[in-house]
Structure 1
Amino acid sequence: MLSLLIVDDEVYIARKIQASVNWEDLGIFEVCLAHNIRQAKEIIESRQIDIVICDIEMPQGTGIDLLAWVRERELPIAFIYLTCHSEFEYAKKAIQLGSLDYLLKPVQPDELRSAVAGAAKKIDKEKPLHVEQFWQDLLQQRISSSPSSLYNSIDKRQLPYSENTRMLPVLIGIHQWEKKLSPLDENRLEYAIRKAAEEIVLADRSGIILHVKRGTLLLLLSECPIRGTDLTELSSKLQLFIHESAKYFYCKLSCYPGRFVSVPEILGLYEKLADSHWNNVSRWMRVLPFRERAECLLELPGPPMNVWSEMLKQGDKSRLQDDIARLLESWRSVEGLDVKRLQQFYQSFMQMCLFTMQRQGLQADGRFLSLLSPERARTATSSLEDLETWAKELVEEALGTVHEEDEQQLLIEKIKRYITLHIDQGLSRQYIADHIGLSPGYVAKLFKKAAGVSVSDYIVEEKMRIAKELLAKSDMTVSSVALAVGFSNFAYFSAIFKKKVRSTPVDYRRNTGLCRNSIER
């Protein structure tokens, strides 16, 4: 039902407008009259007015002033102007302030009827939006939830709630999508889930469903005097809704019915329901009526991190992963198990893996570190299933790093052996790479990372090591030693030797006590 206010300083015209249309045919069951802005404001403040038909030029203020006053108070009232003035500036100002129509006097009844019918249709379309905006403002705390402030906002917005209104909030929380979705597809499916909730749960009772944030919907059910507060039928419908959502929308979700409360109590109860969903790590796809959450007082079987560290060192992947699965499964039936306990496991297991790898002389690479990102930490601790998946992946990556390090070490040893065996030949990255079967660039990068020196520097160091050994332990001439380590130019060999050893080859041999008089060159 809608209400109408006619504002005109000429009493005769106001009454003529009142009598010119059958208002009930348009869904209007109350028509009020005012002859100046003061009277109009008093009526608007004391009644719920939906549509105003207003003259522009009046002795105590214009219709434009009245519309501006209404807009300042954010009242959802549609304005239709009747005036003798056709000046553009009036029409422009009316449009800027959101006037719905602008009609010139004398207006014909059919024209007026059409304008009011359009306003009524627009109001019917927008009223649900006004209601939803109110709840969004409350849940996002853009308006105060104190009773006096909240009821004042309700009156101001002309919403159908009072101090006697009682509503039951039901939080719908999405745990997981069963398939990988783009953000757009996820939004589409959340909209489909919302429509499904309307069809299944709100089919025969009054209420509204809101999209609060990603993965969270809130159903607000109005109290039904006939049904009372029995939740048995509601629980059955919610369970059907959960089943249908899993079947058609690829998601696992749970529903958390609260209790019937007054409008100012909705925000506090919603926050408690949201906390219940956040801490639901093991009981998915259920209807979970609200109750004050109990702390997890039972002693949980603790993870044997020392044992698991040893398994990781030994590379016993299957046994370690089986142990993880058994432990987390034993937690499933624990009353009060929450995100905090899962976060504690996450921290302990992560530190164990990093410590074990460090003791093995290994560094975590990019793939391993990606499993420790803040976003992955949040998803890993959202459920026992996600935590188990994360822990097993971390084991895979840790052991993969060990395996890679072992393979790389074998390659480094192979490169070093090749250099030693071919020390008397011309050596280059290309020859070594061809022998190993890898690209020269990769060989250089891998060797530098593992050995701490470049391939070329290592070759020189190896040549000097063998040269010193031959000078100290054999009676080969210095020239022969130079040839034995790949130097055809004796002077160049001597210069490199002196630079690296800080002694000439002859002095080095003399200082080792193995100088032979016959050995000069």
Structure 2
Amino acid sequence: MQMIIVDDEAHWVDNLSMTKPWHTLGIEHVHKAYSAHEALQIIDTHPIDIVISDIQMPEMTGIELIERIRVRDKKIKCILLSGYSEFDYAKKAIQYEAVDYLLKPPTDDELMGAVQKAIDQLNTEWELISSLKRTQFTLRENLPHLRGRLLLEALQGHRFAAGEWERKLANYDLPFHDGDYALMLVRMEEEFRHYDNNDQTLIEYAVSNMAEEIMGEFMEVWGVKEEHGYLVFLLQLKENDTDIGKETILEKLSVQLQSKVKQFLKGSLSIVITEWFPFPEQLYDRFRQASAYFRQIVGDEREFVMRVSDVETPAAQGPLDVLYTPPSFIHLLESGQWDAAEEKIVAVCEELDEKWSESWEHCMEAGFLITASFTNLAHRNRLTLATLMGSDIEWLQSGKAFSTISKLRKWSLSVLGKLKEGTSNEIKDIRSEYVKKIQDFTDKNLHLDVSLRVLADHVNLHPTHLSKIYKIETGEGISDYISRLRMDRACHKLKMTTKKVYEISMEIGYMDPAYFIKVFKRQFGVTPQEYRDHHK
């Protein structure tokens, strides 16, 4: 856990933060803030759990600080300290759900006890949120979506280890076990295509329910809608005492599904079913085979129930596997996973070497898809392949890049490196632009509110994200930069003008001159007036 101590009296903050055994309570880090504004900046950039704050502070009171904290995060626990035993303060503290209200100076037992109370409340709340019962309830609520997502990933070629499959099936309460499986692909025909998106979803849901009802008497059923619009059902035969063969049962139930949909939903279905196969080893191949059957055999014909035959596909006509196995190449580029993208290129070329070393078409297929992905990302980043590659673009224009597998590998890896470099440079330029905007805005508005949240709103970024970007680019935090800028400007005005100290205080963003004097002395060891006198 992380805690912050807030007080305009620096010695009080330093004493509480460094001399108390906070680690014995599980507090990993204690932050220090010498004003409420500084505290808010720290809260915006760090995962603060507990706030200990004085009430009487210039510019913003501890009560006002809690009020602003509640807008940001309702879970942060606040403890208030005050030198006055006033009912109104205590009432306000209760209103904003302060854990405790202590009179200064509190005893160690009082202070440690209040923090322990805050920790106990936090633990209780988070235990409730993360409790097994609540997790199980949430899981049940989202189970259909999670199940569908898992099956869809498997159909797209995502590989899971055997142990991982067993764990996921158990977690998602899917009653599947070792044995034979079949796939049933359902295509909803033209009668259903005039529905709008919402009605279409309801119709698909109705068809899925009917399939589960009809098939469920004899089989375990697990269904999902895949990306090409087919409803896909993974089926496993339950134990049964009938003399009917499993192939016959599957075909009979498929015809029955067609009939009931026709009768009650007034539309037709075309159905392709696979041979029985071991799961999960052959799931992806069987799904791809069944999808191809719709394209090659069923075509535009309607209301078929067809079984996929185990016809051997000539080797020269087979598809590339690695290129289309998730995650896709364009996805890896878009998410900046450069190492994984490089591994993808290498794996594609290894598959070409192993299976299609004599096939120029397969090499061209891989080259075109890789090139399209490169071009798409370059254009998104306001670049062109020609600019990125220089004279190497001639390889692409002449077709040499795809003429052999070795050239494809060399060319693709070279372009990937240049695209990565170009994207990284653009990111650096964008970060530099953010820093420039922040510094320009702060320079012009130092006399106004230049808190982290205001600056983040100015550049349309989240405060935490902005803070990290600024730190990466400049090596210092935004609050450090603002403090340094204020002190630099204060020194300049003290030396070069005859303005009053309170006027300078207002011009650099300190509404309370007394607080400005205190901060200035903490920074330079002298008051502003002493600094001015020394530099006359």
Q: TM-score, normalised by structure 1?
A: 0.34
Give the helix-richer structure, 1 or 2.
Answer: 2
Q: TM-score, normalised by structure 2?
A: 0.33
Larger RCO: Structure 1 or Structure 2 (Cα < 8 Å, ≥ 6 residues apart)?
2
Larger Cα Rg: Structure 1 or Structure 2?
Answer: 1
